[in-house]
Structure 1
Amino acid sequence: MADPGPPPNAAEIMESVNDALQGLELEPHETSDILGFANQELPHLHTPEDSYFILGSYRDPYLRRLRIVQNELDKRLGTYPFLMGDLPELDLDRLPVFRIRFTLLATHADTIVAVYEQDAGGEVTELGKISTTPYFDKSYVLPRDYTWMTEQHLDTEADVIAAAATIYFNDDLDDAAIEDEIDSLTTAATKNNIDLTAAAVIDRLADREDSEHAPVSYSWVHLNEFRLFELHDRCFAWSTPDGLRDSVDEVP
């Protein structure tokens, strides 16, 4: 098969790669391989379809949630949701290829959707990238069990479940204390027209998978980044797989 040659926007592509690598001088074969990757993958992002770049952990069970997001977005007409892990690698041992692939895909995708369930891993780096220009305006975050740190912040069902999880999985509380605390929480939530009983909340938390028992404890840095997205109406919290599906529905 004949070499397709460099993409028509090769100069623009290499300029973004140059920025990602802080001006590092590339060897000719490295430039060729990068442009080859761009030739193969970027045309999928330049079609009438809406492209969604899905970020998050590829470890099990977290990958299952990324597939939920991908499947939900794929149900929409004219969409192309994808994970970086499903695309070809760049075999360039000398270079930080994650930075290159991320930059190319994030720059050319229409929308970025990031799922968070833990306070560690490569997702921390991704969060730092999408919370700044030029990616912020097209990015949405879906953090599990996230709620901002005020008692009054019980605006959604996910807020209530997240707050209840910190009570339910607190080893210092006995069953009676847990029920009392969650009952108080759901009573407060009714003031925001959230119709949840304490029994229903406890049932949901009891049904969690073993790997999901403890509520997610995010760092102060995570919470601040999530709050920034929330203030821009681009943070949708969830606590269960069905809740995640509902959160995906909020993404344009």
Structure 2
Amino acid sequence: MTKIPENSEELTDFILNDVLYGLELDPIDSERLLLYMRERHEHLFGPHSTYFVLGSYESPFKYRLDEALDVLNHRHDAYAYLLATQPDLDVSDAIPNLKVKFFLHALYADSIPLLLEHDTGGAIAEFGRVERPVLLDRTYLFPRAQEEHYDDESLLTTQDAILARAVELAYRADDLDKELAALATQAREHGLDISTQDLESYLESELGGRTPSYSGVITDSLVHLESLDQCFSWTTTAELEDRLSNVP
């Protein structure tokens, strides 16, 4: 199916053929699925614009999801939400509840912003799911530090720029300790009281001790979204808030 199901019969066919790959839904599960849709009708089909926000729920990455929700919900007649805040399906144990729940919401969202900060966890599974044709044209990807915006030394004259550069280095430096030491030296040359330890503490708060990266499989898929003008790199939270303006 290349379009959103328009009625309950099409929806059931989609769930069976495109999500569950041939598993059978017994009449009780089918009825419960349709009941779930009716109960969520106001949220999924209301007059407002719906934004199904995806990304990592781990700390500290969840903070950026909350920021995205706040930005999008400040739009006129907007409803931005996470999957975790939605009720679970009441179906039999043979049915993958979370998977079906994901697609029910993704199918009817007006836009699907996906924040990426690393290449592990549930956000990567979601990334694979939204690449399906029925979802791709409404998906907007926001990978952190995919592009370097602060590699020009002439820009590294403020504390914000130094901290942003530290994040970029965390994603791509072969010897991060060495690069952070050099960055701290550069900061002090511009009269900024920033030490290597300050940069390390900042990265701990931003990345939770993780060494972030994107696999070749992920970066290859990013090229696809970039070619569609649906991929927007960011480094700081302020930049993320600005990039979200690309979501219609």
Please give the TM-score of this superposition, normalised by the length of structure 1.
Answer: 0.75
Query: Match of 1:249, as an amino acid?
Result: S
Residue 10 of structure 2 aligns with which residue? 12
Residue 212 of structure 2 aligns with which residue? 216
CA distance in 1, matches of 2:195, 2:138: 36
| Secondary structure class of the residue paired with 1:238 | coil
Q: CA deviation at 1:205?
A: 5.4
CA distance in 1, matches of 2:180, 2:80: 44
Q: 1:201 and 1:41, CA in 2 relative to 1: closer, same or farther beyond 3 A?
A: farther
For structure 2, the residue ranges without an aligned partner over 5 or more in a row are 1-5, 152-160
Q: CA deviation at 1:221?
A: 0.9
| Secondary structure class of the residue paired with 2:176 | coil
Cα root mean square deviation, aligned: 3.3
CA distance in 1, matches of 2:66, 2:110: 19
| Secondary structure class of the residue paired with 2:147 | coil
CA distance in 2, matches of 1:236, 1:129: 19
Q: Which of 214, 233, 237 is 1:237 aligned to?
A: 233
Over the matched positions of the two proteins, sequence identity in percent amounts to: 29
1:171 and 2:166 equivalent? no
For structure 1, the residue ranges without an aligned partner over 5 or more in a row are 1-7, 152-156, 184-196
1:251 and 2:226 equivalent? no
Structure 2 counterparts to residues 131-210 of structure 1, below 5 A: 131-147=131-147, 163-165=168-170, 166-167=172-173, 170-173=176-179, 175-176=181-182, 178=183, 207-210=202-205
CA distance in 1, matches of 2:104, 2:38: 11
Q: 1:137 and 1:174, CA in 2 relative to 1: closer, same or farther beyond 3 A?
A: closer
CA distance in 2, matches of 1:47, 1:146: 35
Q: Indicate if the aligned counterparts of 1:45 and 1:108 stay in contact, CA closer than 8 A.
A: yes
Q: CA deviation at 1:173?
A: 4.6
Deviations 1:178-211 (A, max 9, x none): 569x89xxxxxxxxxxxxx9x7999995644535
CA distance in 2, matches of 1:61, 1:110: 27
Residue 105 of structure 1 aligns with which residue? 105
Q: Indicate if the aligned counterparts of 1:119 and 1:216 stay in contact, CA closer than 8 A.
A: yes
1:52 and 2:75 equivalent? no
Q: CA deviation at 1:21?
A: 0.8
